[in-house]
Amino acid sequence: MGTGRAAAIAAGVAGVLAAAGARRPVIRTWPASILQAAPCLPASETPGALSLVHAAIGAAALRDGGGRRPAGLAAAAVNGLAVAALVDLRRDADRTARVFDAALAGLPTPAAAALPLLGGRAARERHLRAADLAYGPDPAQRLDVWGPAGPTAGAPVLVQVHGGGWTGGDKAHSAAPLMAHLVAHGWVCVTVNYRLGPHHRWPAMIVDVKRAIAWVKEHIGGYGGDPSFVAISGGSAGGHLASLAALTANDPAFQPGFAGADTTLAAAVPVYGVHDFSRDEHGLFALLERKVIGTTRVEDPDTWLAASPLHRVTVDAPPFLVVHGDTDTIVSVGQSRRFVRRMREVGAEVRHAELPRAQHGFDAFPTARTGHHVRGVHRFLAGVRARRRVRPAGAPTGQLHPATG
């Protein structure tokens, strides 16, 4: 068998396995689950492009004399199976749109122009207005401001918190498609770095996020933002920090040295976030014990529960939109399901979008699914802002409509 046809067979097998894993992942324990997520993410998010690749590989195997050789036929057949396995995944973007429509029922769709979806360096280069601004004395306590090109004033603000297991990640690589979309529609976005484990231990991470929020409240007017409307979002560990920040407004335990600062938030959008430190899923406890908190759940239950958004929920929580993929191999979708259930039990406002066959980190790329995601987040945040603007004086800030989704 020639090396070319062997490689074609291997590519086809890999494609079939990636499509199968995108439907029903098998490995779900960190860090081995990364091996599952790596091939499944492109299969779930770019199935159309992968279908074309496998079709081309199969056709090439037949064209190059393979039609008369078993190896060539095998290469064509297995790549054909990969194409067939990817076909149904192409419908998941439309399914995602329907999930967001159901979760956001009752909220108007913003009258916003349809713009190309940007990601990565292109988005950062177009929208970055100030980089590495210090919000504290530590070198890690830096933030970037994204905003419209022209002069602006009174723009709604989103604080974005990067993920990375509380031990890695960077503000330059966090939710670029979402922030680019919001900035293109008049928002100001702030993306935050914070101290990381294992060099820094809990609660350094949440203290930094809240210090950054305090900085935004005090200074964002100078960049065209409205300090009276600051929402927060984040993915993975950033989703945990975003949720916890939204649920612990002005909590002095997480605001040492700035207890008097305002850290209230208008809304929160955790994406595939960790919400419950009382349940060991996907290898969560081992990571927290070794590199983040430094204690065990048994010997230090108060710290672990205080760090869990699920255990900090009250009826006074700001409105939440919780987004999670149902095949996430890095953070269990059960984390978000239980959090949403708890929010509803206490009567807090929460909307829930569980995306079909979406893998961890899906929103990092400007794909069709990400397009529905960023428009859904925009719709939710715009709806919350519009509602706050028309609230009568003295009206409560809690839930105004039944939670749906």
Catalytic residue among 92, 208, 328, 363: 328
Contact in structure between 264 and 195 (CB atoms under 8 Å): no
- Kindly tell me the sign of the dihedral angle through the C-alpha atoms of 236, 139, 156, 396: positive
Contact in structure between 50 and 16 (CB atoms under 8 Å): no
The total of other beta-carbon atoms located within 10 Å of residue 206's CB is: 23
DSSP state of 68: G
Q: What is the 3-state secondary structure (H, E, C) of 153-222?
A: CCEEEEEEECCCCCCCCCHHHCCHHHHHHHHHCCCEEEEECCCCCCCCCCCHHHHHHHHHHHHHHHHHHH
Catalytic residue among 360, 372, 373, 378: 360
Instruction: State whether residue 257 is helix, strand or coil.
Output: coil
End-to-end CA, the chain = 54
Instruction: State whether residue 129 is helix, strand or coil.
Output: strand
Q: Decide if 236 is catalytic.
A: yes
Q: Are strands 142-146 and 268-271 parallel, antiparallel or unpaired?
A: unpaired
Closest CA to 313 of 283, 338, 343: 343
Q: Which two tokens mark 404?
A: 């749906």
**Spacing of C-alpha 117 from chain mean position:** 16
Q: Decide if 328 is catalytic.
A: yes
CA distances from residue 160 to 193, 317, 351, 383 in whole angstroms, order as listed: 9, 19, 19, 19
Half-sphere exposure of 115 (CA within 13 A, CB side): 19
Contact in structure between 243 and 275 (CB atoms under 8 Å): yes
State which amino acid sits at residue 243.
Answer: S
Among all chains, which residue has been given the structure tokens 């690589």?
173
Burial of 132 (0-12, 13-18, 19+ CB in 10 A): exposed
Q: Decide if 228 is catalytic.
A: no
Catalytic residue among 33, 174, 236, 243: 236
Contact in structure between 173 and 396 (CB atoms under 8 Å): no
Distance CA 242, CA 232 (A): 6
DSSP state of 120: H
Q: Which two tokens mark 68?
A: 């008369």
Active site residue ranges: 236, 328, 360
